Structure 1
Amino acid sequence: MGFYSQIKEILKVSVPIDRKRFFISGVILFFVKYGVDRSLSYFVFNREWWALDYIKNPTALFTLDPSSEDFTFYITLIGFSLPFLYLGTVLCLKRLRSIGLSPFWVFLFFVPALNFLMFFLLCLLPEGLYGPSKIIGNESSDGFIPKSKLIVSIWSILITASITLLFSLFSTDILKTYGASLFIGGPFIIGFTSVALYSRTEFVGFKQALLISASAISLAGFLTFIVAMEGVICLMMAAPLAYFLGFLGGGIAYLLQAKSKFVSSFLPFLFLILPSLAYLEANMDRESDWYMVETSLKISASKEKVWKGLFEFSDIPEPKELIFNAGVSYPVRARVEGKGIGAIRYCEFNNGVFVEEITEWDENTSLGFNVVRQPDAMKELSPYKNIRPTHLDGYFASKKGSFQLVSLGKNETLLIGRTWFQNKFGPTAYWNVWIHWILHKIHYRVLDHIRNTVEAPS
């Protein structure tokens, strides 16, 4: 067969392709494309481009100023990617035909991170796994869902996680909202959809439904981590709510599986509802409420001595708490410049400085201040350098704080620390539990150090 005939056969979608040729063709295309992108980046735009950049911040183009150099850079890469996208789509369609799967699954090729997983699976699955090759436009509807118990569970999990990942990108990177649609609607639909898709071909037991829901939630979290949307800390804090709602959704799908075909026909509408709710949340013009956290500690010293300790204490020792070592910001030292109302308090954290203006000064009794400037609440634990999720931009904000001294006797004082904050995460009640816990840890770190300082022998 001549060279041009081979090229024509490769580009012909109706001709299946085996695992070996698909793997070799895919690897060659990837490295050619990577070489082109890296050369363009280095020689034209004078910047580095690495393989991991393909899955990092996939929505960056939509958030950039069209007049910026970064926008021009990404548009150029996309332009040079079009031939590779075409060839990759053709190869995936040919491989799906060889396995016997519906061409519908080719959409996964366009999902960041999932396209690599799809390539891996297409290299493993044998030819004719689901019967004879399908002809585009004439395949049986049964080809949409695989018949193998293992494979159908994998595909139901993959399809659900991929769609919800796209919704998460839309909600956080484009709409800039972290509301109930993301943290309640997302996990519920992950659990519901993954079980509903599976139950179309196989009766699902209750334990199996929970396992499928948990797997889909876990994969969605893993993909969120891989594409550098979030770090470990935020994913761990969201996990209890996500798994609970995922199990709830999976449980409801389990109860409705007798009508699975009817239920699955409505699934696309569920995925349309989520972005609609997120859009409404993002455009609701409402001011967030203020919340207050209070922590108190008894100190064996007079009010005068404790008051002095508020302004003069040594550096706080390095924390032993896991939450601080995982990346949540913690206080290191504090100082006050000036005296009385209008003085400036600097509370230094490990990643920046809180600048606070004194608004209340009642010597030996109370000290109050407003927060003028604050650093990020955390540094995300992630393999990517300088990851900075959107939620660090004001979704949690300390507004003011105070210290109050209450005499309990001649040489005993109750020191009370308070912080007022705003929380723009939804659902508010859930995230306030985490915020209260973290702020109590921060308060206690400061109060305990003051106690150790003033109680120490002179």
Structure 2
Amino acid sequence: MFSQLKELLNVSLPIDRKKFFVTGIILFFIKYSIDRIIAYAFFDRLWWISEYFKDPGKIVLQKFEPEESRFYFTLLLVSLPFIYLGTIFCIKRLRSIGLSSFWVLLFFVPFLNFLMFFLLSVLPENLYNNKEVGSSPEFFPKSKLIVSIWSIIFAASISLLFSIFSTDILKAYGASLFVGGPFIIGFTSVVLYSRAEPVDFKQAMLISFTAISIAGILTLIVALEGIICLMMAAPLAYFLGFLGGGIAYLLQAKSKLVSSILPFLFLILPSVAYLEANLDKKSDWYMVETSLKISSSREKVWKGLFEFSDIPEPKEIIFNAGVSYPVRARVEGKGIGAIRYCEFNNGVFVEEITNWDENNSLEFNVIRQPDAMKELSPYKNIRPTHLDGYFASKKGSFQLVSLGKNETLLIGRTWFLNKFGPTTYWNVWIHWILHKIHYRVLDHIRNSVEVSS
């Protein structure tokens, strides 16, 4: 029995897929049983298998509540022997298949380790071993399917780690994240693939597309972002991913040289992110203007700014997907210094009136505002860092322009602050959303005023 155990723990000896799978399952349930006993006996709480998949970003980044620190630290200590065993068995299995032990690094990437376990459990022995006796296993296998899978997984996992570093450690949502990240994903995935197999342009685009998609899915799984933000970032990410993949396609004749400098590229990206996060950057204000003709006098439209019923539930997809939308508004007081409350579905904008020109214009500064959106996510109450001041409404106004006896042009304006990069790209989305919000309010005022007229 001792000799069998010694053989099982010998990293230089191979292990077949059946023994690897059975051993992995047994170790997982032993670990789960120990965690469950510790949770119940010492911390008076239940622990289910699903807990390993709840808000994993919190566990990865150690964002614990003070009372939970001791509990998670205990689980981490208990995990150390299982991490050791898992590393040994993964290396043994990689060598049995004929892959470099370097791929064991994926064992330490949340969720990718489950995919790795599945692949190592189904791939046959000696799949990538060289035929020459004494030759060492290739880092890049020769199978088109498998090499594409490994290339995509590697690029996506590197992107995930960088996203965690940028958003949760540096608190930066700059060009390095939204421009450099997708470009590196597309570039890296195609470069790694071309090391083992020449790639045509169509294959390069497909590999880039898949790598960007996997990176987005991983970002959603580890609760870094919700569906709405990922959808808004997708056009830019895919474009830059295709660009990176296209450049890698052109350089594939020199793929060995290019892949050798990839580690330096991975160092440049977080360095740029660090500079973005720490350099003093002036934040400019931007303005969005929306206008609507109303068949009524300025006096009635002015009155309608303060007295209108609740706005009906929205039909727009963007609002039903989680972006905040206005529900009603009211003003306490009159003249400069009065307070306007613009109630949204997830909170209240508190606004101080700074200009009160009756029947002509109303201006206000935003004192307090709710979150810009509620992220769609598999997890409850996900709250990405960017909800804290990266977009902020600063001031707003209504202007009434007479176009005739019973015709008024109502103009709504919002000034906002945008700390996302690249600013030009994200301003397109912000302008579109604010136009939707403006139109929702202006159209309701028009309907209310015209009906009363």
TM range (shorter): over 0.9
What is the CA distance between 1:44 and its match in structure 2? 3.1
Are 1:63 and 1:174, in contact at CA under 8 Å, matched by a contact in 2?
A: no
Q: Out of 74, 81, 84, which is 2:82 matched to?
A: 84
Secondary structure of the corresponding residue to residue 157 of structure 2: helix
State the match for 1:22 in structure 2.
20
- Is the 2:204–2:245 contact (alpha carbons within 8 Å) kept by the matching residues of 1? yes
- For structure 1, which segment, 16-25 or 426-435, has the greater mean C-alpha deviation from structure 2 after superposition? 16-25
Note the alpha carbon deviations across 1:293-318, whole angstroms, 9 max, x for none: 00000000111100111111111000
Question: In the superposition, relative to structure 1, how do residues 61 and 243 fare at CA in structure 2: closer, same or farther (>3 Å)?
Answer: closer
Q: Secondary structure at the match of 1:200?
A: helix
Is the CA contact (8 Å cut-off) linking 2:57 and 2:223 kept in structure 1? no
Of residues 327, 338, 341, the one that matches 2:336 is 341
Pick the aligned partner of 2:319 from 317, 324, 329.
Answer: 324
| Aligned with 1:272 (options 267, 275, 285) | 267
| Residue 233 (str. 1) matches residue 231 (str. 2) | no
In the other structure, the counterpart of 1:184 is: 179
| Counterpart among 390, 393, 398 of residue 398 in structure 1 | 393
Is the deviation greater in 111-120 or in 22-31?
A: 22-31
Show the counterpart of 2:98. Answer: 100
Residue 367 (structure 2) pairs with residue 372 (structure 1): yes
Equivalences for residues 115-154 of structure 1 within 5 A = 115-131=113-129, 140=136, 143-154=138-149
Residue 207 of structure 1, aligned match among 202, 207, 218: 202
Question: Would the aligned equivalents of 1:293 and 1:420 in 2 still touch at CA under 8 Å?
Answer: yes
- Cα distance in 2 for residues equivalent to 1:311 and 1:41: 56
CA distance in 2, matches of 1:69, 1:279: 31
Q: Judging changes above 3 Å, is the alpha-carbon distance between structure 1 residues 389 and 291 closer, same or farther for their aligned structure 2 residues?
A: same
Deviation, 1:228, is: 1.1
CA distance in 1, matches of 2:205, 2:237: 13
* Letter of the structure 2 residue corresponding to residue 289 of structure 1: D
Report the Cα distance in structure 1 between the residues aligned to 2:131 and 2:419, rounded to whole angstroms.
51
| Amino acid in structure 2 at the alignment position of 1:318 | E
Sort the Cα spacing of 1:314 and 1:139 in 2 relative to 1 into closer, same or farther, 3 A: farther
Q: In the alignment, what sits opposite 1:437?
A: 432
- Equivalenced residue count is 452
Map Cα deviations across residues 99-156 of structure 1 (whole Å, 9 max, x no partner).
1111110000000111111111111111111127999xx963x611111111111111
State how far apart, in whole Å, the 2-side matches of 1:232 and 1:365 are: 41
Deviation at 1:365, TM superposition (A): 0.7
Aligned residue type for 2:27: L
Q: How far apart are 1:410 and its partner, in Å?
A: 0.6
How far did residue 17 of structure 1 move? 1.5
1:410 maps to 2:405 = yes
Counterpart for residue 305 of structure 2: 310
Tell me by how many angstroms 1:14 deviates.
1.6
Q: 1:11 and 1:196, CA in 2 relative to 1: closer, same or farther beyond 3 A? A: same
Q: Tell me the SS of whatever aligns to 1:144.
A: coil
**Per the alignment, do residues 43 and 9 of structure 1 end up closer, same or farther by CA in structure 2, a change over 3 Å counting?**
same
**Does residue 376 of structure 2 align to residue 381 of structure 1?**
yes
In structure 2, the residue corresponding to 1:214 is in which secondary structure?
A: helix
Q: Please give the per-residue CA displacement for 1:260-309, whole angstroms capped at 9, x wherever unaligned.
A: 10111100000001111111111112231110000000000111100111
Provide structure 2 residue ranges, at least 5 long, that are not aligned to the other structure: none
- Find the residue that maps to 2:377 and give its secondary structure: coil
SS of the residue aligned with 1:370? strand
Q: Which moved more, 1:279-288 or 1:290-299?
A: 279-288
Instruction: Determine helix, strand or coil for the equivalent of 2:448.
Output: helix
Would you say 1:58 and 2:80 are equivalent positions? no
Residues 11 and 92, structure 2, Cα contact 8 Å, conserved in 1: yes
- Whether the 8 Å contact between 1:171 and 1:178 is mirrored in structure 2 is yes
Shift of 1:74: 2.7
Report the Cα distance in structure 1 between the residues aligned to 2:131 and 2:116, rounded to whole angstroms. Answer: 19
Q: In the alignment, is residue 263 of structure 1 matched against residue 258 of structure 2?
A: yes
C-alpha change, 1:49 and 1:176, in structure 2 (3 Å) is farther
Q: Does 1:114 align with 2:109?
A: no
Does the C-alpha gap of structure 1 residues 63 and 80 become closer, same or farther in structure 2, counting only changes over 3 Å?
A: closer
User: For 2:431 and 2:191, how far apart are their aligned partners in 1?
Assistant: 37
1:285 and 1:40 mapped to 2: Cα distance?
48
Where 2:217 maps in the other structure, the secondary structure is helix
Contact preservation (8 Å) 2:288, 2:413 = yes
Contact 1:97 1:134 in 2 (8 A): no
2:351 maps to 356
| TM-score (norm: length of structure 2) | 0.96
Write the letter of the residue equivalent to 1:126: P
**Does structure 1 retain, via aligned residues, the 8 Å contact 2:397–2:412?**
yes
Contact map agreement 1:371 1:398 (CA 8 A) in 2: yes
Q: CA RMSD in A?
A: 1.9
TM-score by length of 1: 0.95
